[in-house]
């Protein structure tokens, strides 16, 4: 219902009244103050959202015209000497770096060889230990078999087996 009234009110307004705010029933002084207020409230984007400041210092400098002369031919002899010194220093630095890497690789190979030697020594010691343990177990087994036979002869003679009261 209110939508119909709003449409009727809008249809009844002239084109000028649709575009501008009209103050009905207000004094001229109030209308002047209201217009002054609304005109002062122009919604500008905040300064932070502007892409470029209006400050003149942000303007780009104009590009210089390129010289068509050969820059290398116009170089001073001291600048060529400077380039040679820089090139020599660069090559020397690369050589020292390569030498340092070679020393690191040599140290790495020495460490790996030492670790391999220590591992082989541990394996050899463990093998000897296992062999000696096996021999010891074999000796114990053979001696134990002999002792078992011997003990059975000593402690459990046939006449003692028949008489259990004489075991001790």
Tens of pLDDT along the chain (168 residues) come to 555 545 665 566 556 555 666 667 778 888 888 877 877 776 666 666 666 666 556 556 677 776 655 555 556 667 788 888 999 999 999 999 999 999 999 999 999 999 999 999 999 999 999 999 988 888 887 776 665 555 555 555 555 555 555 544
Residues 6 or more apart in contact with residue 149 via CB below 8 angstroms: none
Alpha carbon distance 150, 156 (integer Å): 10
Query: What tokens appear for 36 in the block?
Result: 């002054």
* SS3 state of residue 110: helix
* SS3 state of residue 98: helix
* SS3 state of residue 8: helix
If you search the block for the tokens 């790996």, which residue do you land on? 112
Q: Where are the beta strands (DSSP E) in the chain?
A: none
Q: Where are the domains of the chain?
A: 7-41
Q: Which tens digits make up the pLDDT trace of 104-150? A: 999 999 999 999 999 999 999 999 999 999 888 888 877 766 655 55
């Amino acid at each position: 219902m209110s939508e119909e009234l709003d449409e009727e009110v809008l249809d009844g307004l002239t084109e000028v009244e649709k575009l501008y705010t009209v103050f009905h029933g207000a004094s001229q002084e109030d209308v002047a103050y209201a217009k002054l207020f609304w005109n002062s409230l122009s919604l500008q984007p905040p300064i932070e959202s502007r892409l470029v400041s209006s400050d003149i210092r942000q303007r780009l400098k104009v590009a210089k015209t390129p010289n068509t002369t050969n820059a290398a031919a116009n170089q001073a002899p001291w600048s060529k000497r400077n380039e040679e010194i820089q090139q020599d220093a660069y090559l020397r630095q690369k050589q020292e770096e390569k030498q340092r890497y070679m020393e690191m690789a040599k140290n790495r190979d020495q460490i790996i060889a030492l670790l391999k030697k220590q591992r082989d020594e541990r394996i050899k010691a463990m093998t000897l230990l296992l062999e000696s343990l096996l021999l010891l177990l074999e000796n114990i087994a053979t001696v134990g078999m002999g002792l078992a036979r011997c003990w059975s002869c000593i402690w459990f003679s046939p006449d003692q087996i028949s008489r259990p009261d004489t075991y001790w």
